[in-house]
């Protein structure tokens, strides 16, 4: 029995080492530059979760690539940006600073229930220490998603296009669905939300997400990149949690980061696919507007952002 256990432990150790080795090899191979080259003329990227991925159509915004992905916490955005910066020279980074990114609910997207959403696409680029942090938070979730990530990456290496951004981070989430029967839908959304604990009387803050938002700010600073926070429009039916804390964090933690708040952008119900997410029609309006804002208030400084927001 002792011999059996000795062998099991020895083999498990070798196996664990093998998994780490595999992750490292995949990471090394995948991190090559041509996997991450953004289109010529790109000087800015947008990062964030589904609000951003649905609201900004980057084909309508000059020089900008929208890398936002549904369910993406800042933890993943940070490593995504780091990887992009290794092979691209950017001038601006836009990060979707949304209310639900600061609530505790954001933890679910990083290491909780929705870990499977972004973790596999990002595994090869997460730093070891950060990976261990994630493993300590949710060992089962990480263990379940490690093979998913390894398989996905292996298949990409063998059969993929050679463009990781296009394969996994491309912004292709804008729906042509038009939100209908809003009241009924809202009831469902709110019921779901209250069941899952999203809507509570008192929210707490996702420290992990905010830590990595600060890391994004530091990374931009270090690389001489101007960081902007964005907030995409949401429908009038959407509840914006923790607004005062949201503003407080913005002013106290990120006083140097300009905030482009499109919360009050004039929209109608038909601009949304659901109460939280814009559709192709809403995205067109917002993207054209954002393109103009970037041209006039960021690239050329004809106007300040506030002036642009007030005048347009």
Partner 1 sequence: MLFNSIDFAIFLPLVFLLYWFVFQKNLKQQNSLIVVASYVFYGWWDWRFLSLILFSTLVDFTVGIGLSKTDEKRKRQILLWTSILVNLGFLGFFKYYNFFLDNFQQVFRLFGSEFRAGSLEIVLPVGISFYTFQTLSYTIDVYKKKLEPTRDFIGFTAYVSFFPQLVAGPIERATNLLPQFYKSRIFDYTKAVDGMRQILWGLFKKVVIADNCAQYSDMIFNNHQDYSGSTLILGAIFFAFQIYGDFSGYSDIAIGTSRLFGFDLKRNFAFPYFSRDIAEFWRRWHISLSTWFRDYLYIPLGGSKGSKWMQLRNTFIIFLVSGFWHGANWTFIAWGLVHALFFVPLLLLNRNRKHLEIVAMDHLFPKFRDLIGIGITFFLVTMAWVFFRAENIQHALEYFSGFTRNPFMLPEVRPMLVFAFLAFFIFIEWLGRGEQFAIAGMGLKWHRSLRWSFYLFLALVCFIFAGQEQEFIYFQF
Task: State the residues that interact with partner 1 by CB under 8 A.
Answer: 1, 3-4, 7-8, 11, 14-15, 18-19, 22, 120, 140, 143-151, 154-155, 158-159
C-beta of 14 vs 222, nearer to partner 1: 14
CB of 133 to partner 1, least distance (A): 20
Q: How many residues does the chain have?
A: 312
Q: At a CB cut-off of 8 Å and minimum separation 6, what does 119 contact? A: 76, 134, 141, 142, 145, 149
How far is residue 100's CA from residue 242's CA, in Å, rounded to a whole number?
8
Q: How far is the CB of 179 from partner 1 (least distance, A)?
A: 31
**Dist. CA 99–CA 103, nearest whole Å:** 7
When the beta carbons of 128 and 139 are compared against partner 1, the nearer one is: 139
Residues 79, 222: Cα–Cα separation, whole Å: 15
Tell me how far, at minimum, the Cβ of 204 lies from partner 1, in Å: 29
Least distance (Å) between residue 18 CB and partner 1: 5
Q: Find the DSSP H helices in 31-98.
A: 50-55, 74-87
CA distance 29 to 157: 8
**Residue 40 exposed, middle or buried by CB count within 10 Å (0-12, 13-18, 19+):** exposed
Instruction: CB nearer to partner 1: give 15 or 211.
Output: 15
* 121: its two tokens: 């696409």
Q: Which residue, 117 or 215, has its beta carbon nearer to partner 1? A: 117
What counts of helices (H) and strands (E) characterise the chain?
14, 7
Residue (12 or 191) nearer to partner 1, CB: 12
Instruction: Give 155 or 207: the residue with its C-beta nearer to partner 1.
Output: 155
Minimum CB separation of residue 162 from partner 1 in Å reads: 15
Q: Using alpha carbons only, give the angle 47, 174, 217 rounded to the nearest 5 degrees.
A: 5
Instruction: CB nearer to partner 1: give 20 or 288.
Output: 20
For the bound state, the minimum distance from the C-beta of residue 152 to partner 1, rounded and expressed in Å, comes to: 8
> Which tokens is 189 given?
């959304």
Of the pair 148, 186, the CB lying nearest partner 1 is at 148
- Nearer to partner 1 by Cβ, of 138 and 287: the residue is 138
Query: Please, what is the minimum distance in Å from the beta carbon of residue 159 to partner 1?
Result: 6
Nearest approach, Cβ of residue 31 and partner 1 (Å):
19
The whole-angstrom separation of Cα 15 and Cα 244 is 49
Helix segments in the chain, DSSP class H = 2-30, 50-55, 74-87, 99-102, 106-110, 115-122, 128-137, 139-159, 164, 182-196, 207-222, 243-253, 280-293, 305-311
Q: Provide φ and ψ at 112, rounded to 5°.
A: -95, -135
| Min separation Cβ 158 and partner 1, Å | 5
Within 10 angstroms of residue 200's Cβ, the number of other Cβ atoms is 13
């Amino acid at each position: 029995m002792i011999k059996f256990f000795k062998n099991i432990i020895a083999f498990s150790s070798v196996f664990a080492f093998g998994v780490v080795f595999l992750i490292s090899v995949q990471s090394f191979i995948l991190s090559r530059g041509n996997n991450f080259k953004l289109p010529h003329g790109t000087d800015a990227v947008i990062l964030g979760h589904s609000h951003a991925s649905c609201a900004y159509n980057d084909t309508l915004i000059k020089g900008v690539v929208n890398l936002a992905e549904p369910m993406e916490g800042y933890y993943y955005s940070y490593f995504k940006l780091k990887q992009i910066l290794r092979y691209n020279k950017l001038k601006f980074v836009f990060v979707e600073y949304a209310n639900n990114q600061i609530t505790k609910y954001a933890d679910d997207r990083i290491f909780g229930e929705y870990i499977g959403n972004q973790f596999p696409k990002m595994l090869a680029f997460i730093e070891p220490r950060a990976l261990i942090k994630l493993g300590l938070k949710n060992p089962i979730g990480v263990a379940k998603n490690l093979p998913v990530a390894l398989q996905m990456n292996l298949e990409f290496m063998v059969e993929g296009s050679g463009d990781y951004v296009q394969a996994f981070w491309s912004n292709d989430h804008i729906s042509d669905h038009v939100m209908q029967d809003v009241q009924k839908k809202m009831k469902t959304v709110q019921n779901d939300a209250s069941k899952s604990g999203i809507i509570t009387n008192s929210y707490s803050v996702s420290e992990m997400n905010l830590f990595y938002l600060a890391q994004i700010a530091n990374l931009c600073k270090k690389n001489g990149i101007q960081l902007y926070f964005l907030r995409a429009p949401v429908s009038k039916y959407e509840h914006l949690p923790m607004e005062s804390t949201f503003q407080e964090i913005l002013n106290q933690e990120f006083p140097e980061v300009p905030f482009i708040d499109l919360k009050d952008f004039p929209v109608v119900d038909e601009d949304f696919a659901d109460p939280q997410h814009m559709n192709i029609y809403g995205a067109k309006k917002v993207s054209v507007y954002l393109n103009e804002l970037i041209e006039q208030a960021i690239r050329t400084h004809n106007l300040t952002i506030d002036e642009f927001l007030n005048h347009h």
